[in-house]
């Protein structure tokens, strides 16, 4: 019994720190990089899907980029994979491998408040800050038609017609 307690005591702290994959998925990330991506929102969910929302002021073919993400803990590489049809016109052709797009990022820094990634092909740094969703308007709300609210009424039927 004493050996078991000693084992638990010595090794209990090894797995208690936050792991990168749990930090990736814990919050929404708002891009703070200079340039056209400033203000983009990136969400990495625990199931392996990601959503990059360009927001209402975007300069790409579509507001949302959806795909899968994978974390290589040994090499510290975050890979975003996008289906070839969905990424066409959104993702640069330099990331095309076969029919799909794969964007590999080296993890430069990751804390509860900030994430810095380096694109392996361009050496471009992308910086993100953990954010609350106070400033975030979901895409489905942005797509609602603007204008006066339409009130539907039933048509008036002629009298006596049954």
pLDDT at residue 4 is higher than 60 = no
The number of distinct structural domains making up the chain is 1
Look up the domain containing 56 and give its range: 17-134
How far from chain centre, in Å, is Cα 92?
18
pLDDT value at position 9? Answer: 41
DSSP 70: E
Range among 30-44, 55-69, 148-162 rated most confident: 30-44
Within a domain: residue 24? Answer: yes
134 band by pLDDT with thresholds 50, 70 and 90: confident
pLDDT at residue 7 is higher than 50 = no
Within a domain: residue 160? Answer: no
Within a domain: residue 100? Answer: yes
Within a domain: residue 130? Answer: yes
Within a domain: residue 80? Answer: yes
Residues 6 or more apart in contact with residue 14 via CB below 8 angstroms:
none
């Amino acid at each position: 019994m004493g050996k078991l307690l000693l084992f638990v005591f010595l090794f209990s702290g090894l797995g208690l720190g936050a792991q990168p994959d749990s930090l990736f998925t814990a919050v929404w990330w708002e891009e703070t990089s200079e340039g056209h991506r400033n203000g983009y929102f990136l969400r990495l969910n625990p199931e392996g899907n990601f959503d990059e929302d360009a927001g209402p002021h975007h300069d790409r073919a579509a507001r949302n980029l959806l795909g899968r993400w994978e974390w290589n803990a040994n090499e510290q590489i975050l890979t975003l994979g996008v289906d070839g049809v969905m990424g066409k016109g959104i993702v640069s052709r330099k990331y095309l491998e076969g029919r799909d797009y794969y964007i590999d990022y080296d993890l430069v820094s990751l804390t509860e408040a900030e994430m810095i990634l380096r694109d392996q092909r361009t050496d471009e740094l992308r910086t993100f800050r953990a954010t609350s969703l106070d400033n975030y308007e979901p895409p489905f709300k942005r797509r609602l038609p603007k204008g006066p609210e339409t009130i539907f009424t039933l048509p008036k039927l002629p009298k006596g017609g049954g």
